[in-house]
């Protein structure tokens, strides 16, 4: 597969208020150029720095080259349905970046590196970012799970995410690249695959403290938090389920509390609501989930009695020129850009993204898809660790029904609800909820 350098893309600014200003200061202040990766896994030579070019996904996971073929290696900026649909104005964070760098660089340091995990039964090298106090004294460890990204430049190893805020409170924060981002950006991202994501985050968290202590960092407590919003909320609960289901992981990662917000905990519920209302907050997640589920589960294997592909589900407009593959698999476009491009070709509603037969309950391929939707719900286990669960009732991207079904499922499974705090309120849109969730969590962290 040919490597490519993605375009640098920017979001058009939204309405900002004081809370966003505070968040943006900490968020953008940690930005540094990263050309090399630290190996977070100790070998005979100890911990060392490697070049990003030394991690070749084709060599470590060659089956993907056979399954996927060649992924898009370039993007045409003149594409009338592509890059130019999004304005390239300077963002708020860019305009104030000198001030932001001055304020936060005094307290937070980043370490970008690689570690070993497992995916589909095979070892795989993944990457991520550690945010640590420059004082080298850590109050505890936070395993952060990021929300939905589409561009390589958005992923944790390429630059700071909002999770960097948590490090300003004195915690060591590990922010894993999910499969399909960072050093594995040539691979299809298995969107909402709870096992793949839960294990990736857990493996990163498991090695963080030994690595940091070997490099002169101290921990004042044994506190371990799991944190995430939106897709990260689903990932946080998936990580909790993975750890609590594996005694060896739980011994190394005794969870203090899980902090999750706005998560699509039950993908089947999200599907049902989208079909009923014909509204999908982020249109891009539909093709992202379809191709991610198909490749993560080898559902396109021709030896199966009914192999499926994205073409069995997506509308003709989505399939034209394989445009969705370029938008998602080039990793050159942000989620906002992909959403805009889909709307520009008339694929902004649920019924316009999927072909007519794929909207029918008796469609044979749906039986396979619905089974995977159900398998990736994070509502089928009884949580043992304390939890804080946040969701805005007016969420316009991840329907509030997700939070309701999570609470109902935990109740039915006999969870100790005295250890679960549900914070369901009128917190506005999905993006507004993201800001309120981060502010609330920052106040909780001592």
Question: Where along the chain do its domains lie?
Answer: 18-266+380-444, 268-375
* Helix, strand or coil, per DSSP, at residue 329: helix
Average pLDDT (47-59) is 61
Q: What local confidence, expressed as pLDDT, does residue 36 receive?
A: 73
Contact between 174 and 143 (Cβ < 8 Å): yes
Q: Tell me how crowded residue 39 is: count the other CB atoms within 10 A of its CB.
A: 19
Name which residue leads in pLDDT, 278 or 62. Answer: 278
Q: Which residues contact 50 (CB under 8 A, 6 or more apart)?
A: 36, 37, 38, 39, 114
Average pLDDT, the chain: 83
pLDDT, tens only, 389-411: 999 999 999 999 999 999 999 99
Reference 70, options 180, 188, 153, 179; nearest CA is: 188
What's the pLDDT at 17? 46
Lowest average pLDDT, out of 52-56, 159-163, 241-245, 326-330, goes to: 52-56
Q: Of 70-79, 146-155, 171-180, which has the strongest mean pLDDT?
A: 171-180
What confidence score (pLDDT) does residue 23 get? 47
pLDDT given for residue 115 in this prediction = 92
Beta carbons of 30 and 104 less than 8 angstroms apart: yes
Task: Provide the pLDDT confidence category of residue 15 given band limits of 50, 70 and 90.
Answer: very low
What is residue 52's predicted lDDT score, i.e. its pLDDT?
A: 55
Higher-confidence position of 107 and 74? 107
Of these ranges, 44-53, 67-76, 267-276, the one predicted with the greatest mean pLDDT is: 267-276
pLDDT of residue 57: 54
Q: Are 185 and 288 in contact (CB under 8 A)?
A: no
Q: How confident is the model at residue 29, as a pLDDT?
A: 39
How far is the CA of 303 from the CAs of 140, 223, 297, 299, 446, in angstroms?
49, 48, 13, 10, 55
Task: Report CA torsion sign: 110, 115, 117, 122.
Answer: positive
Query: What are the b/e assignments for 228-264, b being 16+ CB within 10 Å?
Result: bbbbbbbbbbbbbbbbbeeeebbebbebbbbbbbbbb
Instruction: Please give the C-alpha separations between residue 358 and each of 283, 305, 343, 372, in angstroms, as whole numbers.
Output: 16, 18, 20, 15
Say which residue the tokens 């060392």 belong to: 48
Helix (H, G, I), strand (E, B) or coil at 224: strand
The rounded distance, in Å, linking the Cα atoms of 438 and 27 is: 12
Q: Is residue 179 predicted with pLDDT exceeding 90? A: yes
Length of the chain counted residue by residue:
446
Residue 434 reports pLDDT greater than 80: yes
Taking the CB of residue 112, how many other CB atoms lie within 10 A of it?
A: 24
Q: Residue 50: is its pLDDT beyond 50?
A: yes
Helix axes 18-28, 430-444, angle to 10 degrees: 70
Q: State yes or no: pLDDT of 192 exceeds 90.
A: yes
CATH, domain range 18-266+380-444: 3.40.50.1820
Which residue did the predictor score with more confidence, 270 or 88?
270
Q: Which token pair is 243?
A: 């750890």
3-state secondary structure of 231: helix
What mean pLDDT is predicted for residues 419-430? 96
The stretch 51-71 carries a mean pLDDT of 51
pLDDT digit string, tens, across residues 120-174? 988 898 999 999 999 999 999 999 999 998 888 888 888 778 888 899 899 999 9
Greatest mean pLDDT among 25-34, 74-83, 212-221 = 212-221
Which of 78-82, 119-123, 339-343 bottoms out in mean pLDDT, i.e. has the lowest?
78-82
Q: How far is CA 285 from CA 82, 89, 156, 247, 298, in A?
A: 17, 25, 19, 33, 19
What's the rounded mean pLDDT across residues 111-119? 92
Closest CA to 218 of 258, 171, 174, 251: 171
CA angle 89, 94, 96 (to 5 degrees): 125
Q: Which residue has the tokens 């592909």?
A: 309
Contact call for residues 323 and 344 (beta carbons, < 8 A): no
Tell me 13's DSSP state.
P
pLDDT band at 10 (very low <50, low <70, confident <90, very high): very low
Give the whole-number percent of the chain exceeding pLDDT 70: 80
Do the Cβ atoms of 47 and 214 come closer than 8 Å? Answer: yes
User: What span, in angstroms and rounded, lies between the C-alpha atoms of 327 and 332?
Assistant: 7
Confidence at 60, pLDDT banded by 50, 70, 90: low
CA dist 194 → 52, 145, 263, 386 (Å): 27, 12, 12, 20
Contact 261, 433 (CB under 8 A): yes
In degrees, to the nearest 5, what angle opens at C-alpha 149 toward C-alphas 291 and 128?
Answer: 105
> Which residue reads 């799970």 in tokens?
145
Strand 172-176 with 122-133, pairing:
antiparallel
Please report the pLDDT score of residue 446 as a whole number.
Answer: 79
pLDDT at residue 85 is higher than 80: no
Residue 33 has pLDDT above 70, yes or no: no
């Amino acid at each position: 597969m040919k490597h490519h350098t993605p375009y640098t893309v920017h979001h058009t600014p939204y309405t900002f208020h004081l809370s966003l200003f505070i968040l943006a200061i900490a968020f953008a202040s940690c930005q540094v150029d990263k050309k090399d990766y630290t190996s977070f896994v100790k070998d005979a030579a100890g911990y060392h720095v490697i070049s990003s070019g030394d991690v070749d996904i084709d060599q470590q996971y060659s089956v993907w080259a056979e399954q996927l073929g060649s992924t898009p290696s370039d993007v045409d900026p003149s594409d009338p349905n592509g890059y130019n649909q999004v304005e390239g104005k300077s963002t708020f964070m860019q305009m104030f970046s000198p001030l932001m760098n001055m304020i936060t660089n005094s307290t937070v340091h980043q370490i970008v590196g690689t570690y070993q995990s497992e995916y589909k039964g095979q070892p795989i090298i993944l990457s991520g970012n550690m945010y640590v106090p420059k004082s080298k004294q850590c109050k505890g460890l936070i395993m952060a799970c990021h929300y939905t990204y589409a561009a390589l430049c958005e992923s944790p190893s390429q630059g700071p995410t909002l999770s960097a805020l948590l490090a300003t409170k004195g915690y060591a924060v590990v922010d894993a690249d999910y499969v399909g981002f960072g050093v594995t950006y040539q691979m299809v991202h298995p969107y909402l695959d709870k096992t793949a994501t839960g294990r990736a985050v857990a493996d990163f968290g498991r090695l963080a403290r030994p690595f940091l202590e070997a490099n002169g960092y101290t921990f004042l407590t044994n506190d371990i938090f799991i944190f995430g919003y939106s897709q990260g909320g689903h990932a946080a609960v998936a990580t909790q389920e993975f750890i609590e289901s594996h005694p060896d992981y739980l011994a190394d990662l005794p969870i203090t509390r899980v902090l999750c917000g706005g998560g699509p905990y039950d993908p089947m519920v999200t599907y049902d609501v989208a079909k009923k209302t014909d509204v999908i907050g982020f249109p891009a997640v539909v093709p992202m989930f379809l191709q991610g589920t198909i490749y993560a589960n080898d559902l396109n294997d021709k030896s199966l009695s009914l192999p499926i592909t994205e073409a069995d589900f997506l509308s003709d407009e989505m399939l034209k020129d394989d445009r969705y593959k370029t938008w998602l698999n080039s990793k050159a476009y942000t989620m906002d850009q992909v959403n805009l491009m889909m709307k520009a070709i008339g694929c902004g509603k649920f019924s316009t993204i999927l072909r007519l037969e794929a909207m029918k309950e008796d469609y044979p391929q749906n039986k396979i898809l619905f089974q995977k939707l159900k398998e990736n719900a994070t509502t089928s286990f009884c949580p043992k660790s304390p939890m804080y669960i946040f969701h805005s009732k007016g969420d316009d991207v991840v329907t509030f029904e997700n939070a309701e079904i999570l609470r109902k499922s935990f109740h039915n499974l006999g969870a100790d609800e005295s250890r679960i705090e549900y914070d369901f309120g009128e917190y506005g849109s999905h993006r507004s909820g993201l800001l309120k969730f981060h502010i609330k969590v920052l106040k909780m962290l001592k």
